Structure 1
Amino acid sequence: MPLRAADILFKDRAVGTLIETASGGTRFSYAADWAEDIACCLSVTRREHEWAQGLHPFFQHLGPEGWLREQQARVAHVVEEDDLGLLLRYGADCIGAVSVKPPKGSEPPTAITEATASPGRTVSGIQKKLLVSRAGPKKPFQPAAADGIAPYIAKFNSERIATLVRNEALSLRWSAIVLGAREVNEFTLAFIPVIDEQALVLKRFDRGPNGEKLRLEDCAQILCKPRGQDYAGKYDAGYEDVAAIINRHSARPAIDLARFFRRLIVFALIGNCDAHLKNFSLLETSTGLRLSPAYDILNTAFYDGFDQTLALSINGRKVHLDTIDGDLFRDFGREIGLPDRAIEQIFADLRRQTKKAASVIRLPDAEGFDGFVTRYAEIVSNACLRILGA
């Protein structure tokens, strides 16, 4: 099989090439006239960035996972394990500002017409999801076509778990009160006719008002963590590593470290044990790279059989959700450089805000004591008592 190549674009401008190497790896090379970093791990001071085996992790993490990966591979007749092959077919519109396209002048691939495969576009994540758009505020959401903007991501329930959409919507609503609305991904609930299902529809914060692409990199990309077998690479780190990324790359590190610390406590309060490297990103803003709004917030403790250990290590060890208390977070805050006064101010603020958010998880009149909200609220209330003392 001949070695393949791809053109790499940044905000739709050609910046370099990605090629397979004879040894089984890949090499990204900047164009001679390009002078700007396109990623934290791809410094332009080095003109070439080689990865010994497989696709370079920065590009690998642009690709799909789970349901969408299966769908895209089937429709495009690409082997599901072929990371580069999938990006050559679907990488024209990825999350963030980087695009992957077949080399200019190469024979164009057969057009993808199946709407649920997101022709020409892709998004990472295990959960069943699609890029969607709509013609107007009162128009239904539809799978995004190959051309035009795709400003929303629709996330669906899985065949195994029928409450994922309800769970994440409730988690986002509660977190928006506790953290502040601007700290959390904007969302709505909507029926997607083509899929014939209810979805959680998230507004993409990596796109500007007119669809312009903004740089966005998750921490698995920044740390160059290979995806690994069963997508385990995104769990191979500690929350201290995320803090180090913020310290090194954020335009406002002190502010973003406090935001990250506050967010991590909220994830524990809500029972979110799956906050891995891909759930923390740096986003381009007018002042430089900043910690992005929170996204992928789910009360995983709600589900029997799910791992109740935090996704990444904290204070150098893996921690079970039920053993987390305020002292663990205080130690972590000091470890990442937060002053004691700032730590205690964050705890006091979270105690106030969780009381304000209590109405969001109040037991509905029509629900029994073994219902969804009852179980959800019990997890959150116990965590607030254990971690915040409130």
Structure 2
Amino acid sequence: MGRVARILFKGQPAGHLIETERGTRFEYDSGWQQDIACALPATRREHEWPIGLHPVFEHLGTEGWLREGQARVARLAIEDDFGLLLRYGADCIGAISIGAETEGTRSDAFVDPTVNPGRTVSGVQRKLLVVRGVTGFLPAPAEGAAPFIAKFNSDANPTFVRNELLSLRWTAAVLGRDEVTAFEAGGVGGVDDHALIVHRFDRDAGGRRLRLEDCAQILSKPQGRNHRGKYEASYEEVAGAIARHSARPVIDLARFFRRLVVYALIGNCDAHLKNFSLLERPEGLRLSPAYDVLNTLVYGDRFDGEFALALGGRRRQTGEIVREDFETFGREIGLTSAAIRQTFADLKRGVAKAAPLIRPPQGEPPDGFVHRFSEIVESQCLRLLP
């Protein structure tokens, strides 16, 4: 037997994750009755995964910049998913955490606050868990609450933060403020870069953990080579997950449909499985607020213009999707024709209300960022909301 991790749910011991010859096995503790994930029903005491970590746990881990930093500080191979979770999994997104480990997997000898000791946050973009200090935000220490996520520009693209701030503001104006995660701009001590600060919704006002699962976890999609597994699915599969697991499936399917059309309007081609999640509410699991919204079409050839997941049985370019495609999709996931018409009417009013937010500033040249951003949104709106 390989390494063993103690799995906690909302801070309570729920079971063990055990390395097998090539994969992993999760075992619920005797007497534990609550599901810790949609893909790990407690009615089955053991859940085997043949190769690597089970996706429920694999998708808790980091990607890209933060993963490289974690592996360097912990002196682990960058491919060691299990080891990185043992080292940094005490505070993960959602209610699952890694609370105990085999001897020698965690060390306090090498501490770098910019990799969040003992904490992890998934995603490929440069990001950190942070806390609000007296004069600004600071990287979260190993202990205590970490209620914010700071997202930074990449070395290759200095406009990511500006883009997501503008995209979130526009999306919130179109869909309604409660439909989008709370956010603000700010700086983080020790990091020489402007940041987008996202308020975590997987923690309540008292800092208690809330269950949150993205659709890659719910659908048990492995990360795959180069973390591309989150694109190997369809929006119909996402709708199916919502229909099966939401406490209010009719309402949440309508919210999901509306959100998907908005992503096409804003040119967001990166709405993959990990960007749709179910969040614990008093009534049960519900579609979470929107997050990770970016106008990727503004970057031209540097980003694939293909819609992130298949729609209507095939992959297609975002600029080729027409209103009839969405209408067909809406009917297939159970929406009435009247509800679909009302959605487009509501979105048209929302787009008009949000128009001033993406108006280019006076003096910006025609090839400036906001000019290009607004031109893409206007073009998409003319096609989908005639």
Per-residue deviation, 1:191: 1.4
Return the offset for 1:107: 5.2
Report if the CA contact (8 A) 1:185-1:293 is conserved.
yes
Question: Is 2:359 the partner of 1:343?
Answer: no
* Equivalent residue number for residue 64 of structure 1: 62
Distance in 2 between the 1:245 and 1:65 partners?
A: 24
Tell me the secondary structure at the aligned position of residue 304 of structure 1.
helix
Verify: 1:158 aligned to 2:157, yes or no.
Answer: no
After TM superposition, list the pairs within 5 Å mapping 1:99-114 onto structure 2: 99-103=97-101, 106=103, 109-111=106-108, 112-114=110-112
> Which of 231, 235, 242 matches 1:246?
242
Structure 2 residue corresponding to 1:217, chosen from 213, 221, 227: 213
Q: Is residue 12 of structure 2 the alignment partner of residue 13 of structure 1?
A: yes
Deviation at 1:110, TM superposition (A): 1.5
Aligned to 1:256: 252
Partners in 2 of 1:85 and 1:377 — Cα distance?
Answer: 44
- Per-residue CA deviations over 1:199-255 (Å, capped at 9, x if unaligned) read 000000000112100000000001111100011110111000000001000000000
Corresponding residue of 1:98: 96
Per the TM alignment, residue 108 of structure 1 is displaced from its structure 2 partner at its CA by: 6.9
Contact 2:173 2:353 in 1 (8 A): yes
Structure 2 counterpart of 1:313? 310
Equivalence for 1:331: 328
Deviation at 1:101, TM superposition (A): 3.0
For residue 366 of structure 2, the aligned residue among 365, 369, 382 is 369
Contact 1:272 1:297 in 2 (8 A): yes
**Of residues 358, 381, 384 in structure 1, which corresponds to 2:378?**
381
Q: Which amino acid aligns with 1:178?
A: V
**Letter matched to residue 41 of structure 1:** A
Does the aligned pair in 1 maintain the 2:23–2:51 contact within 8 Å? yes
Instruction: State the shift of 1:113 in Å.
Output: 1.9
1:286 match: 282
Q: Separation in 2 of the partners of 1:109 and 1:264?
A: 41
Equivalence for 1:121: 119
- The superposition leaves residues 141-185 of structure 1 with CA deviations (integer Å, 9 ceiling, x where unpaired) of 000000000000000000000000000000000000000000001
- SS in structure 1 opposite 2:373? helix
2:45 aligned with 1:47: yes
Say whether the 8 Å CA contact 1:218–1:277 is kept in structure 2: yes
Q: Secondary structure at the match of 2:101?
A: coil
Contact 1:87 1:101 in 2 (8 A): no
In 2, distance between residues paired with 1:28 and 1:244?
25
What TM-score results when the alignment is normalised by the length of structure 1?
0.97
Contact kept in structure 2, 1:167 and 1:298, CA below 8 Å: yes
Tell me the equivalent position of 1:89.
87
Q: Any conservation in 1 of the 2:3–2:101 contact (CA below 8 Å)?
A: no
What SS does the corresponding residue of 1:386 show, helix, strand or coil?
A: helix
* Structure 1 equivalent of residue 193 of structure 2: 197
- 5+ residue gaps, structure 1: none
Contact 2:233/2:310 (8 A) holds in 1: yes
Distance in 2 between residues matched to 1:157 and 1:205, nearest whole Å: 22
3-state DSSP of counterpart to 2:197: strand
Give 1:369 shift: 1.4
How big is each residue's C-alpha offset from its partner over 1:97-140, in whole Å with a ceiling of 9 and x where there is no partner? Answer: 00013338x4573115210011000001000000000135xx31
Q: CA deviation at 1:363?
A: 1.7
User: In the alignment, is the contact (CA less than 8 A) between 2:86 and 2:101 conserved in 1?
Assistant: no
Residue deviations 1:298-336 (CA, integer Å, cap 9, x gap):
000000221001010001111111111111100110111
Cα RMSD (Å) of the superposition? 1.0
The Cα of 1:366 is off from its aligned counterpart by 2.3
Structure 1 residues 73-117: Cα deviation after superposition (integer angstroms, max 9, x where no partner): 00000100000000000000000000013338x457311521001
Distance across 2 between alignment mates of 1:101 and 1:71 = 21
Tell whether the 8 Å contact from 1:89 to 1:101 is kept in structure 2 after alignment: no
Q: CA, structure 1 residues 258+65, in 2 after alignment: closer, same or farther (shift >3 Å)? A: same
Residues matched between the structures, number: 384
| SS of match in other structure, 1:99 | strand
TM-score normalised to structure 2 length: 0.98
1:219-234 matched pairs, under 5 angstroms: 219-234=215-230
CA contact (8 A) 2:88 2:117 kept: yes
Could you tell me which runs of 5 or more consecutive residues in structure 2 were left unpaired when the two chains were aligned.
none
Verify the 8 A CA contact 1:237 1:312 in the aligned structure 2: yes
Query: Structure 1 residue runs of 4+, over 4 Å off?
Result: none
SS in 2 for 1:312: coil
One of 153, 169, 173 as aligned partner of 1:177: 173
